[in-house]
Amino acid sequence: MPQGFAGIEQQLLVWMVAILRPGAALFAAPLTGSTQVPLQLRLVIALAIGIPAVQLSGVHLPADGMISAAGLFLALGEIVIGLALGFAVQVGFAAALVGGETISNAMGLGFASMVNPVSGQSSSAVGQLLMMMATFLFLASDGHLLFARILIESYGAFPAGGAVPLQLFAELSTLGGLIFAAGLAIALPVAAALVLVQLILGVLSRSAPSLNLFSVGMPAAMVTGIILLAMTAPLLADAILAAIRQGLDQAAGLAHGG
């Protein structure tokens, strides 16, 4: 074997370990986790983030090689850490989607759904609107750069090949509560006003039984909801941005071992 290729196998193993954590994080994170993002682009970004981070922090390869029980646990640990960081950043986007679904149901637009290009699943029209707003706010606030920095800093607390702390799973269990709380905070200004509209329509239906509630109530709720969305757009943007920052803070806490 030529002298220049003597350590190429060891170097390729280091690169393989380096791509696991960023690759899993990009798969679970917003924007890069979309089905429309090519796999080749994810691999290039994962290598660009993982190789310098692993070279700085070091990697502990198993003595028996990667095709062993120790190598399997190493790969699983890297994937679990990457998925945890990616899911934590998803908090803001998931909260925007929950808020959009709540507003859509209150407006009577729950049936108006379309395919979400990020997840590939159907979601309401208002949910799509808030998801696009979350995407613009995430990019405008340099969330993608902060996420890359969080990934690199995670190697300081959890070096490649080290043990995965059990408190990581306990902290992941709190993400569901954060998503629902942030989603309700996003939907509160519009949904609360729409509930009042529904109450007024209920009183009118009781006072005038001959009134066709479906022909009057549904257009009134839709028009009121559209007007409220236009009026409360700055408040919705602030709530979504706060949820995105909360997700990034959660990811930073996980990356630092807290």
Rounded mean pLDDT of the chain?
80
Angstrom distance (rounded) from CA 243 to CA 90: 10
Short-list 28, 144, 37, CA closest to 86: 28
Instruction: Give the SS3 label for residue 113.
Output: strand
For residue 6, pLDDT over 60 is answered with no
> What is the structure's pLDDT at 7?
60
For residue 120, pLDDT over 80 is answered with no
Angstrom distance (rounded) from CA 107 to CA 182: 20
> What is the structure's pLDDT at 210?
67
Confidence of residue 166 (pLDDT cuts 50, 70, 90): low
> What is the structure's pLDDT at 3?
53
One-letter amino acid at 161 equals: G
For residue 28, pLDDT over 80 is answered with yes
For residue 64, pLDDT over 80 is answered with no
Query: What is the pTM assigned to this prediction?
Result: 0.80
For residue 242, pLDDT over 80 is answered with yes
User: Between 159 and 27, where is the model more confident?
Assistant: 27
> What is the structure's pLDDT at 39?
83
> What is the structure's pLDDT at 1?
43
**What value does the mean pLDDT take over residues 206-232?**
76
Q: Tell me, what DSSP letter sits at residue 122? A: E
Short-list 224, 188, 101, 86, CA closest to 143: 86
Angstrom distance (rounded) from CA 161 to CA 180: 34
Element (H, E) at 29: none
Q: Tell me, what DSSP letter sits at residue 214? A: H
User: Between 56 and 227, where is the model more confident?
Assistant: 227
Q: 173 with 135: CB under 8 angstroms?
A: no
**What value does the mean pLDDT take over residues 26-40?**
83
Q: 108 with 218: CB under 8 angstroms?
A: yes
In terms of residues, how long is the chain?
A: 258
